[in-house]
Amino acid sequence: MADRYGNDVLSGDWRKPKRGRTVEHPADAGLVVEDATSGFCGEIVKVENGLVVLEDRHLKQRAFRLGPGFLLDGKPVALHAPVVVQKTGGRTASGSIAVKDARARVALPSRIYVEGRHDAELVEKIWGDDLRVEGVAVEYLGGIDDLPAIVRDFQPTKSRRLGVLVDHLVPGSKESRLADQVNGTPHVLVVGHPYVDVWQAVRPERLGIQKWPVIPRGTEWKHGICEALGWPHADQADIARAWKRILGTVRSYADLEPSLLGRVEELIDFVTAPTP
């Protein structure tokens, strides 16, 4: 017999929110979350001073206070600063001998610029310990279309050197033409790897494939890669998760292609060489 009065609204856990209860979650770089109040959705790019910085697909950044009020895959989370695991001796991910209890040096005026955030995150994962000991800061540019202006604005000198890592630096590419415009500038070194994107600098075996898929011209490369590998690729959140998946397979320099390893080491040597 049907209940003419409907269900008892007080039956079950009527206090439980429709989206579920808020759970704690580390604010790991690369995670895509939404601020529930403003609706701003973006990838976590930085956590410092009690704030988390999100960057959306238009490269717009906004800072929010850590804590509750975020959505992850539609579920409420309270973000907290990720736990930093302290290394104790041995070797760094780059293969260098780790300096025990070493404090990060004050950053040198010299800098290393890379094209994008993924480049910066990969460099940090492998060379981060070495760079902190040397006092070298790595910054990402969001592209190098304005490379000549970037070099001019930096105003390099013998005690303020600029190293630039460029993607897809092969003969005839747009990147090679831009690099040619600044090559020969005193106290500037531009080097690059041959890959369309730094994703390809990760050895394909780490992903369980023999080689990276070839993506036809006219197809956005990262979306094409995800589609070829059978990964979700509908939006920027999917691309961010794909990169996090790739980066998570990288343990040390041995997981990267030599053509990237040599160029980064060259840049580090260049910006840390003694001033004559």
Per the rule left: phi > 0, alpha: psi between -120 and 50, beta: everything else, 61 is beta
What sign has the CA pseudo-torsion 181, 186, 187, 192? Answer: positive
pLDDT at 6: 45
What sign has the CA pseudo-torsion 270, 272, 275, 276? Answer: negative
Name the residue among 222, 232, 233, 175 with its Cα closest to residue 199: 222
Residue matched to tokens 């840049």: 267
Residue 101's H or E segment, with its range, is: none
Residue matched to tokens 């979700």: 232
Q: What is the pTM of this model?
A: 0.67
pLDDT at 30: 78
Q: Could you tell me the strand order of the sheet in which 32-35 lies? A: 23-26, 75-80, 67-72, 32-35, 41-48, 51-55, 61-65
Please state the φ and ψ torsions of residue 97, each to the nearest 5 degrees.
-70, 125
What sign has the CA pseudo-torsion 89, 92, 97, 101? Answer: negative
pLDDT at 81: 87
pLDDT at 176: 94
Average pLDDT per run of 10 along the chain, which is 276 residues long?
47 52 85 91 88 86 93 89 61 58 62 94 91 88 92 94 95 93 95 95 92 93 95 91 91 92 94 84
